[in-house]
Structure 1
Amino acid sequence: MDLSLIVVAVVVTALVFDFTNGFHDTANAMATSIATKAMSPKVAVTVAGALNLVGAFLSVEVARTISSGLVDETRISPVVIFAGLVGAIMWNLLTWLLGLPSSSSHALFGGLIGATLVAAGTGAVQFGAVFTKVVLPAVISPILAGVIAMLATYLAYRTTARADDGTVKKGFKAGQILSASMVALAHGTNDAQKTMGVITLTLITAGALPTGSGPPFWVIFSAGLAIALGTYIGGWRIIRTLGKRVSEIETPQGFAAETSAATIILASSHLGFALSTTQVATGAIFGAGAGKRAAGVQWGVAGRMALAWIVTLPAAAAVGAVAAWVASRGTAGTIVVAVVAIALAAGIYAASRRNPVTADNVNDVPSPAPVPAGAPA
């Protein structure tokens, strides 16, 4: 296949991934604000989309980590990157269908690593950088976010214990507008950069940019716009999970969770850590729930989320590896990978329409099935 054609295909595929990242991760910023009715669903996703675009221009450190820090760009081709993106997109769509807030970032890293291993061997993966810049932040960040949010929630309730309840709710609702906006800005700063890094890596492997280059302006703008549009679409299934199924979130908890998440994400973006904004936001929400009443947190939901987090990177790596093996057969193999990916995406979308979650019913959580007569409660 002509090199320029595959580069265009990879850039388009990367922007498709960025779009799925947007609607997959909208919940990170807006789930608690929608749950507490600090903002209406449509206003929330509009604000989040706009701030995602703004955030994309604040830093390029994470993009540099991906374009020149995780894999040896001299040993892979744009076809390998294409295969890795396919693995990431498929995992994003599947977990969106299931309403699981898994990590789009780890799906991307997994897909890219799996494809690189098949195409160039273990020596082409910078495992030290993967551990320090990906795995370690993945372990530390949700725990840190949860602890900070738990303490912030406890302090929020203690300091407002004697205040008028209506005044407290009104004040924290106003605060949530600001804190949710900061998370949206931080999400754009961290997650949009991952697609910037992938496109830049593609241009480097194709010889269009020298090794070590940062993303050009058009790459920054297109990545920011793609994630902003995806965010505006609204990943309502995952918004419902984080906003209503983790814990009954009140306005002080929502404010504490969002402020904690925004602080950690912005700090990591400045340092070039490509952490999972989903894990940070989810950890903060669990911490905020535990800060008032640990018994009110749905720990079973937490277990399912943790399992999804653990599985994400290897699962996306496996799909990326298979896609890379097929694509390496030549032009026909690359076309087969593209056609199969499109067919699977269409099937997942069709399945989602059987039980749609929209802005109108996002706060409605189905009641558990009734217990049959005579069955133990």
Structure 2
Amino acid sequence: MTILLVTLVILALIFDFINGFHDAANSIATIVSTKVLTPLQAVIWAASFNFIAYFVFKEHKVAGTIANIIAENIINFHVLIAATVAAIIWNLITWYFGIPSSSSHTLIGGLAGAAIAAGGGVDGVNSSPIITALIFMILSPIIGLIFGFIITVLTVNVAKNARPSKAESWFKRLQLVSSGALSLAHGGGDSQKTMGLILAGIWFFEKSSNPNIGTIHDFTMPEWLPFACYSAIALGTLFGGWRIVKTMGTKITKVTPLEGFCAEGGGALTIFLTTFFGIPVSTTHTITGAIIGVGATKRLSAVRWGVTINLVWAWILTIPLSAGMAAIFYYITNFLF
């Protein structure tokens, strides 16, 4: 039992690390494409704010949401390990092909697929967090788009009388602030998903020896867990995700320092808001929506809709494919252990 818990913790932290370099592109793509920072400077900047989130986010509502996706009577190490392995593999596949898919939805799909395979059927999954995730899979890019559009319109009107060279210089400085805010939000939101996964495993381990321990909802998170998860995602961000940087920074729409500031600001605002309410949204979906919103302020044709539609298809397929892989891995792990 102890070996399985250690295995789960290691795999979950590997997932968190991969999440970092997979999603690093979300917070540094625009700042690299506008040449405000070099790629090396950008990943150090983003990783720093990923870790600073440890000192900022003290309520871990998103972790609680993830931990409660699976019905308590279905939670076991086979389910959790299968979900984690599926999430790792899907993240590596999408990273390799430069597809900015959602690490959040990968994990949610993996947990749901493994729980269903474990014999719980649809009753093995708590519908509320799943439905919320599906709703915000649609809403988060729309909210990001709206915030990106509004911030761009307001910013353009405020700066319309400034000299172009002076305005560009200011927005390059402001992009440091906006990208830092987005990295802070990314670290605070995405690290909690790994916390929730490990928390479910620790709760199951403790309950195995003490059946009266109570529900997972009331289980206290160990103090070491947030530190470990914030450290893992920050370390992953240091390795960057250059394939996805190219997609996010250049293929959706051409981005200037002003537009990069507005997109990052819109994305950060959306993630801070949803994290406050404990909603596990995708940083990838959110910033993509914000970039589209910024591009749409110029003209709709400024957005490369062919690329965007391909991204949407990847988002739609993430949960069912992750669920299918997790179900397969559950049968494998259940057979081996």
TM-score (normalised: structure 2): 0.94
- Larger-Rg structure: 1
- What is the rounded CA distance, in whole Å, between the counterparts of 1:200 and 1:88 in structure 2? 17
| Partner SS, residue 101 of structure 1 | coil
- Does residue 82 (structure 1) correspond to residue 81 (structure 2)? The answer is yes
Structure 1 residue 28 displacement after superposition: 1.2
Letter of the 1:118 counterpart:
A
- Which residue is equivalent to 1:175? 174
What does residue range 238-249 of structure 1 map to in structure 2 within 5 Å? 238-249=244-255
- What is the rounded CA distance, in whole Å, between the counterparts of 2:102 and 2:220 in structure 1? 24
Equivalent residue in structure 2 for 1:277, among 280, 283, 286: 283
- Which residue is equivalent to 1:193? 192
- What is the rounded CA distance, in whole Å, between the counterparts of 2:225 and 2:158 in structure 1? 46
Letter of the 2:102 counterpart:
S
The answer to whether the 8 Å contact 1:197/1:215 transfers is no
Which shifted more, 222-231 or 285-294?
A: 285-294
Letter of the 2:61 counterpart:
E
1:199-234 CA-to-partner distances (Å, cap 9, x unmatched) read: 000111122675322421211111111100100100
| Partner SS, residue 161 of structure 2 | coil
The answer to whether the 8 Å contact 2:191/2:229 transfers is yes
What does residue range 243-262 of structure 1 map to in structure 2 within 5 Å? 243-262=249-268
Moved over 4 A (4+): none
- Which residue is equivalent to 1:140? 139
- Does residue 322 (structure 1) correspond to residue 321 (structure 2)? The answer is no
Structure 1 residue 74 displacement after superposition: 2.9
- What is the rounded CA distance, in whole Å, between the counterparts of 2:30 and 2:336 in structure 1? 47
- Does residue 98 (structure 1) correspond to residue 104 (structure 2)? The answer is no
The answer to whether the 8 Å contact 2:100/2:284 transfers is yes
- Which residue is equivalent to 1:205? 204
- What is the rounded CA distance, in whole Å, between the counterparts of 1:152 and 1:266 in structure 2? 16
- Which residue is equivalent to 1:359? none
Which shifted more, 265-274 or 288-297?
A: 288-297
Count matched residues.
327
Structure 1 residue 188 displacement after superposition: 0.7
| Partner SS, residue 328 of structure 1 | helix
| Partner SS, residue 325 of structure 2 | helix
- What is the rounded CA distance, in whole Å, between the counterparts of 1:243 and 1:192 in structure 2? 23
Letter of the 1:15 counterpart:
L
- What is the rounded CA distance, in whole Å, between the counterparts of 1:214 and 1:288 in structure 2? 42
What does residue range 1-150 of structure 1 map to in structure 2 within 5 Å? 3-57=1-55, 58=57, 59-67=59-67, 69-121=68-120, 122-132=122-132, 134-150=133-149
Structure 1 residue 330 displacement after superposition: 3.5
The answer to whether the 8 Å contact 1:73/1:204 transfers is no
- Distance 1:172-1:214 versus aligned 2 partners, 3 A rule: farther
- What is the rounded CA distance, in whole Å, between the counterparts of 1:272 and 1:186 in structure 2? 13
Structure 1 residue 149 displacement after superposition: 0.7
Structure 1 residue 51 displacement after superposition: 1.1
What is the percentage of aligned positions where both structures have the same residue? 38
1:104-135 CA-to-partner distances (Å, cap 9, x unmatched) read: 00001111110110013221101132102x11
- What is the rounded CA distance, in whole Å, between the counterparts of 1:266 and 1:56 in structure 2? 14
1:228-252 CA-to-partner distances (Å, cap 9, x unmatched) read: 0100100011011100111110111
Equivalent residue in structure 1 for 2:243, among 228, 237, 240: 237
- What is the rounded CA distance, in whole Å, between the counterparts of 1:272 and 1:149 in structure 2? 22
- What is the rounded CA distance, in whole Å, between the counterparts of 1:103 and 1:75 in structure 2? 25
Structure 2, unaligned stretches of length 5 or more?
Answer: 208-212
Letter of the 2:25 counterpart:
A
Letter of the 2:30 counterpart:
T
- What is the rounded CA distance, in whole Å, between the counterparts of 1:79 and 1:318 in structure 2? 15
- What is the rounded CA distance, in whole Å, between the counterparts of 1:130 and 1:64 in structure 2? 13
- What is the rounded CA distance, in whole Å, between the counterparts of 1:292 and 1:26 in structure 2? 27
Structure 1 residue 146 displacement after superposition: 0.4
- Does residue 297 (structure 1) correspond to residue 300 (structure 2)? The answer is no
**Relative CO higher for 1 or 2, CA cutoff 8 Å, sep ≥ 6?**
2
- What is the rounded CA distance, in whole Å, between the counterparts of 1:227 and 1:292 in structure 2? 35
| Partner SS, residue 310 of structure 2 | helix
- Distance 1:214-1:300 versus aligned 2 partners, 3 A rule: farther
- What is the rounded CA distance, in whole Å, between the counterparts of 1:128 and 1:40 in structure 2? 42
- Distance 1:287-1:22 versus aligned 2 partners, 3 A rule: same
Structure 1 residue 185 displacement after superposition: 0.3
- What is the rounded CA distance, in whole Å, between the counterparts of 1:271 and 1:232 in structure 2? 28
Which shifted more, 209-218 or 101-110?
A: 209-218
- What is the rounded CA distance, in whole Å, between the counterparts of 1:62 and 1:200 in structure 2? 12
The answer to whether the 8 Å contact 2:66/2:129 transfers is no
- What is the rounded CA distance, in whole Å, between the counterparts of 1:190 and 1:148 in structure 2? 18
1:38-68 CA-to-partner distances (Å, cap 9, x unmatched) read: 222111111111111121441311111111x
Structure 1, unaligned stretches of length 5 or more?
Answer: 332-377
